Structure 1
Amino acid sequence: MKNIFLILALLFLVETAQAQLFSKERLANLENFDKRRWSWGYFLGFNNYDFKFDYKNETGDPDIFVEANGGFNVGLIGDLRLNDYFNLRLEPGLYYTERNLIYPGFEEERDYLREVKSTYIHIPLLLKVSTKRLNNFKPFLVAGVSTSFDLTSDEQNPEDNSVGRFRMTTNNYYYELGFGIDFYLFYFKFTPSIRGVFALNDELIRDVDPNSPYTVNIDKLSSRGVFINFTFQ
């Protein structure tokens, strides 16, 4: 699913960029848009979260398999112009995603399957580095740090995997890298972008039983994901 998201988004960016670059139309839309000190907007998009596991004892085969089902994003944008090439952006949003953890050592579904449904309030602070505007489009790179609050983490819930509940931390921290293209349309600026997100902290809440087969061999669990957002300003 993650590869499909990436391929479709890349094809969209390339095709649209080619249309803008080789078009005979040279009228500049929204000529003064980038001269604003502040600008605002919103975004809609898709996400595909995965997990990265670091094990205490490597056995060759993964202890846990991850099925990523994807999700959606929605949020707001605040953009501060620093100069012609640098912008500082705050993009608070609501992100919903689903992941299934499969423990191959068990036979019954109630034992080998753990559904992890996450609803994040995700707040990234990003530096946007743009090229010079070309006709009615402008490519850019983006990088920054972020934090999230998982509304469904169950961190404080006393129940654990002994009753089928997989627990994770509520507050998490990430770094982010991505790229996109600003398209200046007649009435607004439209921006498709792709961003990779990588957790810095260990997100696992271990089971009460120190020998629990669900958590005993996990040294660190951290989320990583791909965001495909469509921004309107």
Structure 2
Amino acid sequence: MKRLIVVLTILTLSFQSTKAQLFTKEKIKNLENFDQKRWSWGYFLGFNNYDFKFNYKEHPTEDLIVKKNVGFNVGLIGNLRINDYMDLRLEPGVLFVNREITFPEIPEDNLREVKSTYVHIPLLMKFSTKRLNNFKPFVVGGVSTSINLSSNEKNPDDNSAGEFRMNSKTYYYEIGFGVDLYMFFFKFTPSIRGVFAINDELKRDIDPNSPYTGNIDQMSSRGVFINFTFQ
């Protein structure tokens, strides 16, 4: 009986010690002074999923249908530390986006493939929590602009010749969240961000009564980014 009591006592103490190490003991911090740098640099890779939001002059019998496809993001990061909880970030990149618009009220030739290559330049404010061992959650928000290199804005042909046209410059607001993970040699950051255009991107057809563009009051992009950052 005494031996059993001793064994149970040892097991209880061992469990309490293990529990303390797993849940209360502070781990060794990787890159402990990384966030103390005034400036830091990096790059990101990721994916996007873009949609269009349409406002109509008169609501149609059937809404336009947008098929969304997964695109690719790549770019650079410049980070300016303001204090322990705030950073100002510039993230210029290139986005490859592919969407398809179906005009259901047009009986023939009613599909337009919209391929866009955006040079995207966001200026963001990052708000972080206190670092917890080797991770630090954050939220981010800001404004951005982009130049659509595939806009067809200056193309004299319009939808009557099968060419869907967009304005080349777009302005957005952005909001998202993520977590900084401090690895042994670098900081890895997965994040999710929503982007919402605030201006009209549609380049209208020459004919003001065009069945493609005549009833559209505003067409604006909106999308989701999933980015993986390395610093």
TM-score by length of structure 2 reads: 0.88
- For residues 1-233 of structure 1, what are the structure 2 equivalents within 5 Å? 26-59=27-60, 61-62=62-63, 64-108=64-108, 111-233=109-231
Please list the CA deviations of residues 79-118 of structure 1 after superposition, one character each: whole Å capped at 9, or x if unmatched: 000000000000000000100000112333xx11000000
Consecutive unaligned residues in structure 1, runs of 5 or more: 1-20
User: Are 2:96 and 2:118, in contact at CA under 8 Å, matched by a contact in 1?
Assistant: yes
Q: 1:126 to 1:22 in 2, by over 3 A?
A: farther
Please list the CA deviations of residues 170-224 of structure 1 after superposition, one character each: whole Å capped at 9, or x if unmatched: 0110000000000000000000000000001000000001110000100000000
- Matched position secondary structure for 1:129: strand
Superposed displacement of residue 24, structure 1: 6.9
Consecutive unaligned residues in structure 2, runs of 5 or more: 1-21
In structure 1, how many angstroms separate the alpha carbons of the residues matched to 2:140 and 2:42? 17
- Matched position secondary structure for 1:196: strand
Q: Which residue in the other structure is 1:5 paired with? A: none
One-letter amino acid of the counterpart of residue 125, structure 2: L
Superposed displacement of residue 160, structure 1: 0.3
One-letter amino acid of the counterpart of residue 37, structure 1: R
- Report how many residues are paired: 210
In structure 2, how many angstroms separate the alpha carbons of the residues matched to 1:42 and 1:215? 38
TM-score by length of structure 1 reads: 0.88
Q: 1:212 to 1:129 in 2, by over 3 A?
A: same
- Matched position secondary structure for 1:157: coil
Q: What CA RMSD, in Å, does the superposition of the two structures yield over aligned residues?
A: 1.4
Superposed displacement of residue 22, structure 1: 6.0
User: Are 2:62 and 2:104, in contact at CA under 8 Å, matched by a contact in 1?
Assistant: no
Q: Which residue in the other structure is 2:10 paired with? A: none
Please list the CA deviations of residues 51-92 of structure 1 after superposition, one character each: whole Å capped at 9, or x if unmatched: 000001013531x10001120000000000000000000000
- Matched position secondary structure for 2:84: coil
In structure 2, how many angstroms separate the alpha carbons of the residues matched to 1:60 and 1:91? 41
Superposed displacement of residue 23, structure 1: 9.7
